[in-house]
Amino acid sequence: MYSARNITERGIEQDEGFRFISEDDFVNEHRRTRVSAGDVLLTIVGTIGRSHVVRGSELPFALQRSVAVLRAKSDLDPTYLKFWLDAPHVQRFLSSRARGTAQKGVYLNVLREVPVRFPPREEQRSIVAALETHFSRLDAAVASLHRAKANVERARASVLQAAVTGRLVPTEAALARAEGRDYEPASALLARILVERKATSAASGARPKRKAPVTGARDSLQELPEGWCRASWSQIGLSQNGRAFPSSEYCATGIPLLRPGNLHQSGRIEWTARNTARLPYRWAEDHPAHVVRGGELVMNLTAQSLKDDFLGRACVTGAGEVCLLNQRIARLTPICLSPRFLLVVFKSRPFRRFVESLNKGSLIQHMFTSQLESFDLPLPPEAEQHRIVAEVDRRLSVLDALDATLDANLARCARLRQAILQRAFSGRLVPAEPTVPAEATALS
């Protein structure tokens, strides 16, 4: 059974929202929707206005009520109708008639009000042929841009992988040899951290866990670079879960509340009009231990899916940031280590594989800070950490600029598609026949 999510710009896809139904349910649903080859599908709930002409090879299937079935009359070409529904003026009409709160939708009686102006059948075919020619070239350009974006994502992953495996910058051990000097290996750094960690735990009354540093050992991935070691999170840092602040107290002005939606995939905290919630400042005064400030490392512990690496997503708060730590977000405070280096580790593929391996739940995915203990953090010498962070920032900034250019070109392609449709239905794409266009409704 298909839902509105299965109707995409590329046609019908089964990667999201698709589910199998029983034979009896299929018979009942198919009787209701009566899907046949040549019918035009239109999404009317959620993402409104996506259309598709059903091909015979795609049958049989049933539809959820988020998709409407439009059947063109005999003098109206189905593909012409599909392009007409894609046109800017029709999309604006459907958007203006959408109703609902959590999820907007368009009622079927609204579709009957959509006027469809169409020329003689021969001219319809000419318009369709011209549109398909233009769009085939445009689709090829869009596909090329998407391939380029995929290459950018692979390049990002490669940079992060190189960073956490000692292949991004010269190691401190190699530089020390070349310069004829000594250096502090990561094992010595870890020993210093453990002393500081013990003092911090003693002050707070907590009992630190003991785990010997692993130097030069081989894990399931690869051998450590010279001068590196592995450490557990309990050795090098402290964690704190957020608090469940009442949504009934949300207000227009006040201290921002850091929630999962504020953690951006880039590793930055983002505040928008849509994702920002605020609480009166007295909540910060009453709960100072849950106030997050600039330069702190935070991690999302809950997600509805693993899409876009949302579960376990880590970010570093911006300079001057002041907000409250909400439930299901953890504050991770490293000892004698840069939060930005640990951000690189938590964005790398080894950590993402670790998150994917956890038993996270069913519909809502969860993880816990205690589970971080099972992940061995690669730890380079301190000076090497700073060089790694600087080189990661440099390379990712180049990739971010390239990605922004690709997004701008994709947006330009979308505008060009709308402009082509506008020309087609204003009589400026193909020579018009010397007749007055007919007008009808979309449904037969």
What DSSP line would sit under 109-138, residue for residue?
Answer: HHHTT-EEEE--HHHHHHHHHHHHHHHHHH
Strands (DSSP E) contained in 285-338 are 291-293, 297-300, 302-303, 314-316, 322-325, 329-334
Domains of the chain from N-terminus onward: 184-380 (3.90.220.20)
For residue 328, give the 3-state DSSP assignment: coil
So what's the pLDDT on residue 244? 95
Q: How far apart are CA 31 and CA 163, in angstroms?
A: 57
Tens of pLDDT along 200-250? Answer: 766 655 554 555 444 433 344 468 899 999 999 999 999 999 999 999 999
Question: Which pLDDT band holds residue 439 (cuts at 50, 70, 90)?
Answer: low
Q: Do 117 and 438 contact (CB within 8 A), yes or no?
A: yes
pTM: 0.80
So what's the pLDDT on residue 204? 57
Tens of pLDDT along 81-94? Answer: 999 999 999 999 99
Bridge-based pairing state of the strands 302-303 and 314-316: unpaired
So what's the pLDDT on residue 187? 96
Q: In this structure, what DSSP letter does residue 54 have?
A: P
> For the chain, give me the number of helices (H) and strands (E)?
12, 19
Helical packing angle, 121-164 and 349-357, nearest 10°: 100
Q: With 80 as the cut, is the pLDDT of residue 359 above it?
A: no
User: Whose CA is closest to 213, among 198, 196, 199, 234?
Assistant: 234
Question: Which pLDDT band holds residue 306 (cuts at 50, 70, 90)?
Answer: low
Among 221-225, 261-265, 270-274, 293-297, the range scoring the smallest mean pLDDT is: 221-225
Tens of pLDDT along 384-393? Answer: 999 999 999 9
Q: How far apart are CA 33 and CA 35, in angstroms?
A: 6
Question: CA dist 74 to 38, 278, 403, Å?
Answer: 11, 57, 46
Structure tokens, 303: 């997600």
